[in-house]
A = this chain, B = another copy of it.
Amino acid sequence: MQPNSSHLPKPSLTTFTDLYQLTMAQAYWRSGHTATATFSMTFRGYPKDRGYYVAAGLQDVLTYLEGLQFTQDDIGLLDGLGIFDKAFLRFLSQVRFEGDVRALAEGTICAHDAPVIEVTAPIIQGQFAETYILNQINLQTMLATKAARCVFAARDKYVVDFGARRIHGTDAANKFARVSYIAGFAGTSNVQAGLTYGIPLYGTMAHSFVTSFEQEVDSFRAYAKTFSNGTTLLVDTYSTEQGVRNAIRVGLEMAQRGYTLRAVRLDSGDLLELSRLARRVLDEAGLRTVQVFASGGLDEFSLEGLVSAGAPIDGFGVGTKVGVSADAPWTDCAYKLVEYDSRPVLKLSPGKATLPGPKQVYRRKAEDGMFLGDTITNASSSPAPDARPLLELVMKAGKRLRPDPSLNAVRENCRREFAALPEPHKALRLPTPYPSQISPDLELITEEASAEVRLREGL
C-alpha cells in the first residue's frame, strides 16, 4: 500500500524546468559566474509545408516570469535529491526574475531564424527560464500557425476548435483554443478555455446522446426542446440521409413553435456528397436557413478540398489533426545564449550554429504594405532612423511594462498581419518560405565572434 500522492507536497510551476538549469545554476553561483546574459529564441527553418510562423505564447511566458519563485515545498523537494548545496538552495529560494524581455507581439508573422523573444537577465535567471519559454512559445506558435492555415483554407466558412479530447493534455488543449481564436477561429468547444479566455463556446451533441434514446427523432426533440434556437442536430449516428430527414421533422416542429433549427452536423462518410444531399433536402423542406456543419478528422487539407469543390458547408469543427499539428508536430526551435557580460557568444555545432549578440528584427514592405521579408540586425543598429523594430520591450526589471492586450486585440493584430502576407507563403503545400536575411553588420559580428572562438579554442 502506497500513500496517496495527493498528500505529498506539490511542486510549483517554477519547477517545470530541466534539471540541468538547476545544476548549471549551482555551478554559475559557485563560480561567481553571474553576469548579465542575453538569450535569444528562434525557429530554425520551417517544417515541411510551412511558409511562415504566427508568433504566440508571450502572455503565458510573462506570467510565468513574473511569478517565478520556488516555494518552501519546492526547496524541500530539491533538497531531498541530495545534489544541491544547502547554501545554494537558500540562494535559490530568493531568486526572482528581474530581467528584461523583448518579443514579437502575439499574432505577428514570424520568419524562420529571426528572434521571436530575447531575454536579458543575470545568467542564472535567463538560463533557468529556457524550458518554460521554449515549451510555451513553441507550442503556441506551432498551433497558431496550424490554425491560421485552416482559417485560410476555409475562406469564408467558419472554423471551430473541437480538439479538447485528443490534443496532447489539458495545457495544450487550452492553449490551442486560445491561439486558434487568435488565428481567426470562431470559437471552441472547450469549456475551461472558453471561460478562462472569454472565447465563444460551441457545442452540439454526441452520438451517445442519440443512441441513449429509443429513437433518433426522440433525441432530436429532447434537445430542441431544451435549446430551441441554439439547436444543432448530429445526423450521422445510423444513416445520414435518414438523420437529415429526422432533423427536418424536428426543424418543422420547431418552426411551428416559432423557433429555428440552427444546423445539422455531419461527422462521417463523404462530406462533399452528404453536404450536398443535406442542403438539397433541407432546402426542399423550406429550411433554407438551417446550416450544414461538418466535422470528423478534418484538417486544412480536407477543408481546402471541400471548399474548392463548393461543398455547401457553412462551418467546420476541427480537432485532432489540427490541434496536434499532425503533419508537423514539432519545430526546430532553440533558446541560445548570444551575449554574456557584454561579450557576443555563439556555438558552432554542425547544423545548429547560432548568431551572436542581442538582435532586432525589421520588416521590409512593398509600397502597398505587403511584407517582403524580415531583416535580422544587431540590436543597436537599424536599417533606417524611422524603421519600426518588431521586437518590443515588454518587460523591464521583471515587471510587465503594460497590461496584456485583450485576446480580441491580438486576434485583430493577427488578422492584419496575415492580410499583409503574400499568397505564395500561404500555400498549404510547398509554400514559398517567408524570408529572413541577416544584415551586413550582423554578418560581420558573426564572423568576428566565430574567428575569436576558433582562435581561443585553437580550432
Binding site for B on A (CB under 8 A): 1-6, 8, 10-11, 13, 15-24, 26-28, 30-31, 33, 37, 39, 63, 74, 77-78, 81, 83, 123, 127, 130-132, 134-136, 138-139, 162, 164-175, 189-192, 194-197, 201-216, 222-223, 225-227, 230, 236-239, 242, 267-269, 320-321, 324-326, 329-331, 333, 335-337, 340, 345-352, 402-406, 409, 453-454, 456-459
Contact = CB atoms under 8 A, between A and B. Distances in A.
B131 A165 contact: yes
B320 A330 contact: yes
A225 B30 contact: yes
B227 A11 contact: no
Contacts of A340: 211-212
A168 B174 CA distance: 11
A203 B23 contact: yes
Contact of A169 (B169, B213, B349): B169
B192 A405 contact: no
A24 B191 CA distance: 14
15 contacts: A5-B197, A19-B202, A21-B191, A27-B225, A31-B222, A33-B212, A134-B165, A135-B165, A167-B168, A168-B168, A169-B170, A169-B172, A211-B340, A215-B456, A242-B458
A349 B296 CA distance: 11
A3 to B, nearest CB: 7
B349 A212 contact: no
Contacts of A203: 18-23
Nearest to A406: B2
A349 B267 contact: yes
A189 B18 contact: yes
A227 B20 CA distance: 11
